[in-house]
A = this chain, B = another copy of it.
């Protein structure tokens, strides 16, 4: 799922997002709650109509951003308290409000309010966050399915509410959390609390621990992941859905995915390249422009460069997922996975860390 943080996939129109092959996009309830506001979106006909997106949308609960972007945030037993990063106004997200917000926005899939803990937290802190996440999951389920408050438009009952597994990288806690969340009959399950600083191998191990315990007939969603290599590995571990800002975020820094790994279009070697960035890429940028033109647009700081880079990276990711799906249907996923890793060289940990720090510094929070 490409990420439409503020009701737009950054730099792109809905038609362009459809053209890259997106089946569904993700919206951030935290951002939309603050601006333009849930009531406004509801009054304007819901998020699909507001942003002109005709396909499914998933919204997150807003909890993750409230905790990571808001200031003076504090998690209590029954709510997350935070101040808006825009104007400092204080708000509280309760499980019930998180559901009401998402009902008002009108996405097709909505998420439980959970507490995501950074990697490296003490075990007792992880336990507390997990227990809280479990209590909130029940409250969210009840608020959405059992005794819904009909605050917003009447089609809310058709929204699918997903539960979220927490438990950090502690194997026993992940087991406990998966069993608890899976005991609630959500139509889908998400794995939260990963891609928050742990190593790749820890992420992969934890993912497979969880997916082995989740029902086989319901979708599994690994939140906030990820890079091309993480998508391939995530599928290998039994995951069906992913979301990540990575393809569009790194695109705006000129980092473009290619079959063999990420390249930076600002590199002088592209200045005179009279052919597309990738000859066999079918994206709008590669079909219509040379790498030299992309290089020029980035050097000249032209917005069209950000657009073309975003289109290319999204198409790369969605074509990768297409390839994965096709290989599964044809019973040759393991071969696909081996071939992918043989050719694609992931960005090394140090580079990734530098990029992440730069990004965190730029926005003053996760």
B296 and A36 form a contact (CB under 8 A): yes
Q: For residue A40, give the distance in angstroms from its CB to the closest CB of chain B.
A: 6
Q: A8 an interface residue at 8 Å Cβ cutoff?
A: yes
Contact (Cβ within 8 A) A40 B7 = no
Residues of chain B with a CB closer than 8 A to A8's CB: 297, 300, 302, 304
This chain's copy number in the assembly: 2
Would A43 and B272 count as touching, CB distance under 8 A?
yes
Do B6 and A44 have beta carbons less than 8 Å apart? no
Q: Does A336 contact B (CB under 8 A)?
A: no
How many chain A residues sit at the interface, stated as a range, is: 35 or more
- Determine how close the nearest CB of chain B comes to the CB of A8; give it in whole angstroms: 5
Min CB distance, A36 to chain B, in Å?
Answer: 5
A292 partner, pick from B12, B44, B296, B299, beta carbons under 8 A: B44
User: Does A306 belong to the interface (CB within 8 Å)?
Assistant: yes
Indicate if the CB atoms of A303 and B303 lie closer than 8 Å.
yes
In the bound complex, do residue B299 and residue A10 qualify as a contact, i.e. CB atoms below 8 Å apart? no
Separation of A284 and B297 alpha carbons in the complex (Å): 24
A residues 274-295 in Cβ contact with B at 8 Å: 274, 284, 288-290, 292-293, 295
Name the residue on B nearest A302 (C-beta): B8
- Known A-B contacts A35-B299, A35-B300, A44-B274; A293 and B6 likewise in contact (beta carbons under 8 Å): no
A14 and B284 alpha carbons, distance in the complex (Å): 12
Q: How far is the CA of A43 from the CA of B292 in the complex (A)?
A: 11
Report which A residues bind B (CB closer than 8 A).
6-8, 10-14, 31, 35-36, 40, 43-45, 50-52, 271-272, 274, 284, 288-290, 292-293, 295-297, 299-300, 302-304, 306-307
Chosen A-B contacts, 12 in total, with CB atoms closer than 8 Å, are A6-B302, A7-B296, A7-B300, A10-B304, A35-B296, A35-B299, A35-B300, A36-B296, A45-B274, A50-B296, A51-B293, A52-B293
